Structure 1
Amino acid sequence: MDRPRTTVEAEVAEELAVVRPGLVPRFTAELPGARAAVLSRLWRALTHEPLPWVRRRDRGTLRLSDGRTLDGPAPDPYATGAYVTVVHLDGVPHDDPERLLIALGVPHGAAFARELGHSVASLALSRANQEESSPPWPSTDWEWERRVVDGHPFHPNCRARPAFSVAEQLAYAPEHGPLVELGLLPVRAEACLVAGAWPDDLRDGDRLLIPVHPWQAAHVLKPSGDEGLAGVLAAHPLMSLRTLAVPGGPHVKTALSTRLTSSVRDISVPSVTGSGVLSDFGERVAERTDGLLHVTRTLGAVTDGSQDLAAVLRESPRVFAGPGEHMVPVAALPTTGLPSSPAWLADFARLTLTAGLRLLELGVALEAHGQNLLVVLSGSGAPVRLVYRDLADIRVSPARLARHGVPLPDLPARIRTDDVTALRRKLFGSLVAGALAGTAGTGPVLRDALETAVRDLPSTPDLPALRQDALPTKALTLMRLSPGTPGDQWTTLPNPLG
């Protein structure tokens, strides 16, 4: 049996021995596979992102700026499996992504290496704590989201949660299946900014009860135990971890001020005050898809004026699924076995691209990755329609909207752009290089699905770019190695249709 090798792996193993000693053998057994999974994601970045210290690439050989050579298998930028088990740096084998980054010695690599160690350890923990059997077709949204055990299909930090202890991962992370008690913190209504209708059951006289994630309460707000709370709200965590599903009720997006995968996510004051306008706009433009796509509504949002205490209530995507239908996050589709059918995958690609291109032509570029995008499946498993949630990172073109006679509401400046490159990056990078690639699992399978699907796609100004141009995707590793550069950075991948 393999053993923890890095400092991070050893730290997690020591914590686990205290918190859940019975899980240690399974955790240890999962470490080699977790290393390969993270190393495969890292190899994708090394072979395709514009890293300044990579001088030349020749298939599986990288010439570094300091003269060293890094050798690995021929890269498949759309592969989701752990197909890279070892790479060689000047002939020295490396099967551990954390140690590889340390050996590379690149700027800002030490901090990123530790994040990779956390990704490996947390991924091994997630895999180790899975039930032996689960229902083939879960009946609840949180059960579907629990099945996304490995996290982001292409980010080396797919499971990195360095701010969470082992006990906190087990207590709050969706893949471990917990029920989380959100604290209800009373705040005077006059001291809050509210958008939409804040529900009566989250009010106490002249005070609003704001759901607070227990991690946020313990590490950021730091109340003394349950002091000041007016009760709890039990909910199941979803893929984003900070958004939870209340049984029979809405989804609650909480403030959780820590880094998850790439970014420190918060709920800003402008996102609260503009949530209703953005939600109404999303509903209106979704109607232009003739039922192919629906957008979940924001029911209410509240903040005390800071980024540390805020919450957003959204309707559950389940409202768009009829009797006998299944509502599945796209990230969970590989667990159904459906994508193994070329015909099914082509139908799914056709549905998603038709809806995405229609909205893009209208002037709305969705960030349609596997977490934001859900698909409604018929009782037989056929993809019927789509549901999109969380509009915070879409891009909107005022010029395109105007050409189609769609009024432009008062949207945040960061959302508005007429830059064609930015619009196509947003949709193609998330949908094709993200959701569809993650569902297909390999480049050849993705190519076959796209070749079949594009024959029936609507002729729009953006379709030639999808057919011919290099495919944009976020340079996720470059972003982690560039702490002084804000915002997204991009690279391109070979077009599967090229």
Structure 2
Amino acid sequence: MERVEPMPLGGDVARRADAHAAAPLLNCLIREVAQRCPGQGGRRVYRLPGGGRLLRVREGRRPADPEVYTAGAWQRVGHTDLVKLVAEELRRHTGLSNDELPAEMIDSRDAVAALLAARDRVAPPADPYLRSEQSLVTGHPYHPAPKARGGGPVASWLAYAPEAHARFPLVLLAVREDALVEEGDTAALDALGQAPPGYRLLPAHPWQLDLVGGDLAGAFADGRLLRLGTTAFDVWPTAAVRTVHAPAADPAPGADLFLKFSLDVRITNDVRRLWRHDLLKLRRTDTAAAGAIEAQDGPAAWLSDRGYRTAAFAFEELAVLVRDGLGGHVLPGATPLLAAALAEGFDGNPLDGPADPAVWWEAYLRQVVPPVLNAFARHGVVLEAHLQNSLVAVDTGGIPVQALFRDAEGVKLLPDVTRAAGWERLVYCLVVNHLTEVAAALVERHPDHDPWPAARREFARHDVPEIPRLLTSPTLPGKTNLLLRWTGADGADARYLPLPNPLSGP
């Protein structure tokens, strides 16, 4: 197991952490609250309506170098003061107070600092797929605290952080058979070790056990639960933090699979627990998503959430979900990459290489867009096709040849949600969260390339009743993560505000 210990942070790491943490917070403030004013000298100026103050930033999809106009001059604002500024503005804007979110913003920045320091002294994985999963140092570009880790000490979580290039063995527990609960295909778990008679294997994330360990003392004492040791191989945490990958190359039975665990830690908007209500509908949503993808004439794939296993006395706390590995899904010779990593950047990013951005982008659209639209229009399945739930496989030249989608927990089915609500969610996930970010990263490298005519053509060729309005509407739905967190909305909630629609055109 490769352990990464925290260490004192130098000035360079602190400055880099401030920049990484400020960018998504500024994005949220600008999208959800601020009012745009005429720019000055290459910088964008905004009025903060709560107090009428002026804020200016260096332009770009990751705004930087915030300044506030004070006493007749522009004054630089560090991350700590930016958090205070945002909190004061939101109190005036909403009439509500919130002590929790500012602490999360600071926690997120401090986590970034720890991650940057760790990355400076640990080699990234050689496999480009794992490297892409572990590249998200900034993370969600429109969340005020994308890297918060629950406020715990760095030492409690750094060894399990994907962004720190961690890898570690899982803890092997055994649960007595009369207390076992499972549904679906969980056979891969039994290959991870050897349970004694009358028991079944139940792997656990070590951070998960640290968080809930005291609550399990009674089950260990009376024999309902046994601790057997650890797996004979390491797993790699993916971008989702609580989901780990056991690659096919690992010399262990049952390798090449993903396992998703409960963590009683808030990461972005949600406490990342495997909730009972989600697990109980898992088979239905996964079956629908898998069927919608398999019915299509194309290379797209769905990584199935095969089933889950847990203990009746700790149903959510000890739940583990078994997900398909990459083998048997990725096209021969292709390399899967996390879509979010294309926007974030990593060593081996195919966006750094295309000689013709139009060819690359049209290939990307051909792989990503049709499966999502067809699943909705033909099967009533709303895939959560945002950047972190989408993989894009590329050929040896870096050209996209396949899209893979995952995470049944985020799938919505019609008529469980209305068609209008499902379409709004689809547009947000696919267009606002996904395509606009990858398009912006491409344009950063090729400023003369306009990606949106090709995107309009791709959407227009699909016979979906909602598409004509999509291509003429002046706005798209943008999720309000800052206001959602400030007002204490449910983690699964989604509220939208109108954003300019780059798809709208002739």
Report TM bin, short chain.
0.7 to 0.9
SS in structure 1 opposite 2:432? helix
* CA distance in structure 2 between the partners assigned to 1:48 and 1:57 by the alignment: 10
Checking the alignment, whether the CA contact within 8 Å between 2:394 and 2:402 is kept in structure 1 is yes
Matched, 1:95 2:77: yes
Partner of 2:496: 490
Checking the alignment, whether the CA contact within 8 Å between 1:236 and 1:244 is kept in structure 2 is yes
Checking the alignment, whether the CA contact within 8 Å between 2:301 and 2:405 is kept in structure 1 is yes
Partner of 2:229: 231
* CA distance in structure 1 between the partners assigned to 2:395 and 2:138 by the alignment: 26
Partner of 2:479: 474
Partner of 1:47: 30
Q: CA deviation at 1:481?
A: 0.4
Q: CA deviation at 1:244?
A: 0.7
**TM-aligned CA distance change 1:478 to 1:355, over 3 Å:** same
Worse-superposed segment, 346-355 or 85-94: 85-94
* CA distance in structure 2 between the partners assigned to 1:489 and 1:36 by the alignment: 27
Q: CA deviation at 1:219?
A: 2.0
Q: CA deviation at 1:180?
A: 2.1
User: Could you state the TM-score of these two structures normalised by the residue count of structure 2?
Assistant: 0.80
Partner of 2:175: 187
* CA distance in structure 2 between the partners assigned to 1:37 and 1:177 by the alignment: 18
Q: CA deviation at 1:384?
A: 0.9
Q: CA deviation at 1:493?
A: 1.6
Opposite residue 497 of structure 1, the aligned amino acid is L
Matched, 1:289 2:296: yes
Matched, 1:307 2:281: no
1:383 to 387, 400, 408: 400
Matched, 1:68 2:52: yes
Q: CA deviation at 1:443?
A: 9.7
* CA distance in structure 2 between the partners assigned to 1:366 and 1:48 by the alignment: 25
* CA distance in structure 2 between the partners assigned to 1:144 and 1:102 by the alignment: 33
Correspondences of 1:248-267 after superposition (within 5 Å)? 248=248, 249=255, 250-267=257-274
**TM-aligned CA distance change 1:481 to 1:442, over 3 Å:** same
Matched, 1:24 2:9: yes
Matched, 1:360 2:364: no
Partner of 1:463: 467
* CA distance in structure 2 between the partners assigned to 1:109 and 1:318 by the alignment: 46
Partner of 1:408: none
* CA distance in structure 1 between the partners assigned to 2:182 and 2:109 by the alignment: 40
Correspondences of 1:147-162 after superposition (within 5 Å)? 147-162=135-150
Q: CA deviation at 1:34?
A: 2.5
Opposite residue 277 of structure 2, the aligned amino acid is P
Deviation digits for residues 52-94 of structure 1, max 9, x if unmatched?
xx6x554655444554313214866xx1x3x321131545635
Q: CA deviation at 1:43?
A: 2.1
**TM-aligned CA distance change 1:475 to 1:286, over 3 Å:** same
Checking the alignment, whether the CA contact within 8 Å between 1:195 and 1:300 is kept in structure 2 is yes
Matched, 1:217 2:209: yes
Opposite residue 429 of structure 1, the aligned amino acid is Y
Opposite residue 180 of structure 1, the aligned amino acid is F
Checking the alignment, whether the CA contact within 8 Å between 2:24 and 2:140 is kept in structure 1 is no
SS in structure 2 opposite 1:320? coil
* CA distance in structure 2 between the partners assigned to 1:75 and 1:44 by the alignment: 11
**TM-aligned CA distance change 1:197 to 1:349, over 3 Å:** closer
* CA distance in structure 2 between the partners assigned to 1:395 and 1:93 by the alignment: 46
* CA distance in structure 1 between the partners assigned to 2:331 and 2:498 by the alignment: 39
* CA distance in structure 2 between the partners assigned to 1:327 and 1:232 by the alignment: 29
SS in structure 2 opposite 1:279? helix
Deviation digits for residues 313-364 of structure 1, max 9, x if unmatched?
1111343224321011111224334335422123213421222222222222
Checking the alignment, whether the CA contact within 8 Å between 2:305 and 2:408 is kept in structure 1 is no
Deviation digits for residues 348-396 of structure 1, max 9, x if unmatched?
1342122222222222221111211001111221111111111111222
Q: CA deviation at 1:300?
A: 2.6
Q: CA deviation at 1:197?
A: 2.8
SS in structure 2 opposite 1:195? strand
Partner of 2:191: 201
Checking the alignment, whether the CA contact within 8 Å between 2:58 and 2:64 is kept in structure 1 is no
Checking the alignment, whether the CA contact within 8 Å between 1:348 and 1:383 is kept in structure 2 is yes
Structure 1 unaligned residues grouped into runs of 5+: 1-17, 399-415
**TM-aligned CA distance change 1:453 to 1:351, over 3 Å:** farther
**TM-aligned CA distance change 1:466 to 1:444, over 3 Å:** farther
Checking the alignment, whether the CA contact within 8 Å between 1:361 and 1:462 is kept in structure 2 is no
**TM-aligned CA distance change 1:300 to 1:471, over 3 Å:** same
Checking the alignment, whether the CA contact within 8 Å between 1:47 and 1:75 is kept in structure 2 is no
Q: CA deviation at 1:465?
A: 3.6
Partner of 1:246: 246
Opposite residue 201 of structure 1, the aligned amino acid is A
**TM-aligned CA distance change 1:19 to 1:479, over 3 Å:** same
**TM-aligned CA distance change 1:218 to 1:485, over 3 Å:** closer
SS in structure 2 opposite 1:38? helix
Structure 2 unaligned residues grouped into runs of 5+: 39-43, 249-254
Partner of 2:436: 437
SS in structure 1 opposite 2:236? strand
1:451 to 450, 453, 475: 453
Aligned residues with identical type, % of pairs = 26
Partner of 1:423: 422
**TM-aligned CA distance change 1:466 to 1:289, over 3 Å:** farther
**TM-aligned CA distance change 1:75 to 1:357, over 3 Å:** farther
* CA distance in structure 2 between the partners assigned to 1:257 and 1:482 by the alignment: 21
* CA distance in structure 2 between the partners assigned to 1:19 and 1:386 by the alignment: 36
Partner of 1:278: 285
* CA distance in structure 2 between the partners assigned to 1:439 and 1:132 by the alignment: 29
Checking the alignment, whether the CA contact within 8 Å between 1:366 and 1:427 is kept in structure 2 is yes
SS in structure 2 opposite 1:331? helix
Q: CA deviation at 1:291?
A: 2.3
* CA distance in structure 1 between the partners assigned to 2:333 and 2:299 by the alignment: 18
Opposite residue 149 of structure 1, the aligned amino acid is V
User: Could you state the TM-score of these two structures normalised by the residue count of structure 1?
Assistant: 0.82
Checking the alignment, whether the CA contact within 8 Å between 2:134 and 2:164 is kept in structure 1 is yes
SS in structure 1 opposite 2:388? coil
SS in structure 1 opposite 2:328? helix
Matched, 1:84 2:84: no
